[in-house]
Amino acid sequence: MPQNIRNIAIIAHVDHGKTTLVDAMLKQSGVFRENQVITERVMDSNDLEKERGITILSKNLSIHHGGLKINIVDTPGHADFGGEVERVLKMVDSVLLLVDAFDGPMPQTRFVLKKSLDLGIKPIVVINKIDRPGARPEKVVDMVFDLFCELNATEEQLDFPIVYASAKQGFAKRELDQESADLEPLFQMIAERVAPPEANPDAPLQMLVTSIAYNDYIGRIATGKIFNGRIKAGESVALVQRDGKVIRGRISKLLGYEGLKQVELADAIAGDIVTVAGFDDVGIGETFAAADKPEALPYVAIDEPTLS
Ligand code: GDP
């Protein structure tokens, strides 16, 4: 059910604790969702990467918690990839803006935050490292508020929910004077404040490709969000390319995430973010569609990367 999915991205300046937070969330989550069909583990990505010396996977991951599947998609940190940031943000329904309780917001996260605000996303602000000596969480909240104002946030966006956290110690809370021993308040905030994806599982399949990677064993793999319908491993589908050309083929593998591990899935529904193998000509911005209804989703333009 799309109602049980939450798609988010985390915007964080390097060292503000994104890795630590995600690790803590993984540790405090269940590994399996009851109704999920996991046929086999494809391969250990780390081993494979070591063996081949290449990067084959995007850094997306999925966490199952409290009956929800939380997909966390990776955001390119650089302003150099304007179009890419936008495409990633179009898959999510909210972002966690993670800010160090001592350092405050940093200019490097401004670009991605601005894009998020411009797209109408209402961020959840996570003030991290509140255990740090000299932490000044209230001051940092004010700094975040000022930054939102500067970036022309709307009234609604300015009314951002706040979670105070120590990713390192594995706890989060909504009020500074509250006691908390775990990240439950953060999970609850995600459940409450991130809208489930707007997606219709009963419509014909439409999945928008957001990123492409290459895997020596299964070839070109395409990751993106299923906006409508369902997708099954082994099924014949159409690929609508950017020039409108329709290629037909078979989904040779359907992949999802179990934590950080890529796993094979039997099927997936609208709202979810998955990876597909079987199409060697697939490109970013293209649409996988039902074989009998090959219609493209609107294409998100890619800015030319400004290589400096
Ligand atoms: P990333 O670059 O955003 O992924 O940051 P990391 O998760 O690698 O964290 C950067 C550094 O901050 C590491 O030394 C962490 O141990 C430390 N760190 C992360 N979260 C916390 C926290 O909640 N409190 C404290 N005191 N340190 C933290």
Q: How far is the CA of 21 from the centre of ligand 1 (A)?
A: 8
| Res 4: pLDDT | 95
Q: Which of 192, 127, 195 is nearest to 164 (CA)?
A: 127
Q: For residue 271, what are its two tokens?
A: 């709202």
Q: How far is the CA of 25 from the centre of ligand 1 (A)?
A: 14
| Res 80: pLDDT | 54
Instruction: Report yes or no: 291 and 236 within 8 Å, Cβ to Cβ.
Output: yes
Residue 9 backbone dihedrals phi, psi, to 5 degrees:
-125, 155
CB atoms within 10 A of CB 195: 12
What residue's CA is closest to ligand 1, atom 19?
Answer: 17
Task: Give residues (CB < 6 A) around ligand 1.
Answer: 12, 14-20, 128-129, 131-132, 166-168
Q: Which residues of 72-105 are buried (b: 16+ CB within 10 A; e: fewer)?
A: bbbbebebebbbbbbbbbbbbbbbbbbbbbbbbb
> pLDDT 10s per residue in the chain (308 long)?
889 999 999 999 889 998 899 889 988 986 544 334 333 333 344 444 433 332 333 468 899 899 999 999 877 655 555 577 888 898 999 999 999 999 999 987 888 899 999 999 999 999 999 999 999 999 999 999 999 999 999 999 999 999 999 999 999 999 999 999 999 999 999 999 999 999 999 999 999 998 888 888 889 999 999 999 999 999 999 999 999 999 999 999 999 988 878 889 999 999 999 999 999 999 999 999 999 999 999 866 554 444 43
Residue 171 Cα to chain centre, angstroms: 22
Q: How far is the CA of 81 from the centre of ligand 1 (A)?
A: 26
| Res 41: pLDDT | 33
Q: How far is the CA of 105 from the centre of ligand 1 (A)?
A: 15
What residue's CA is closest to ligand 1, atom 17?
Answer: 17
What residue's CA is closest to ligand 1, atom 25?
Answer: 129
> What is the spatial distance between Cα 55 and Cα 258, in angstroms, rounded to a whole number?
19
CB atoms within 10 A of CB 179: 7
> For a pocket test of ligand 1, which of 10, 19, 20 has the largest count of ligand atoms closer than 8 A to its C-beta?
20
> What is the spatial distance between Cα 59 and Cα 75, in angstroms, rounded to a whole number?
9
Q: How far is the CA of 140 from the centre of ligand 1 (A)?
A: 17
> For a pocket test of ligand 1, which of 163, 168, 182, 260 has the largest count of ligand atoms closer than 8 A to its C-beta?
168
Instruction: Report yes or no: 187 and 66 within 8 Å, Cβ to Cβ.
Output: yes
Query: Taking the complete model, does pTM exceed 0.80, yes or no?
Result: yes
Reported ipTM: 0.99
Q: Does residue 278 come out as left (phi exceeding 0), alpha (psi in the -120 to 50 range) or beta? A: left
| Res 58: pLDDT | 42
| Res 108: pLDDT | 78
> What is the spatial distance between Cα 89 and Cα 188, in angstroms, rounded to a whole number?
22
Where is the binding site for GTP, in residues? 15-20, 128-131
Q: Ligand 1, residue 169: give the atom nearest the CA.
A: 23
Q: How far is the CA of 3 from the centre of ligand 1 (A)?
A: 32
Instruction: Report yes or no: 162 and 141 within 8 Å, Cβ to Cβ.
Output: yes
Residue 219 Cα to chain centre, angstroms: 23
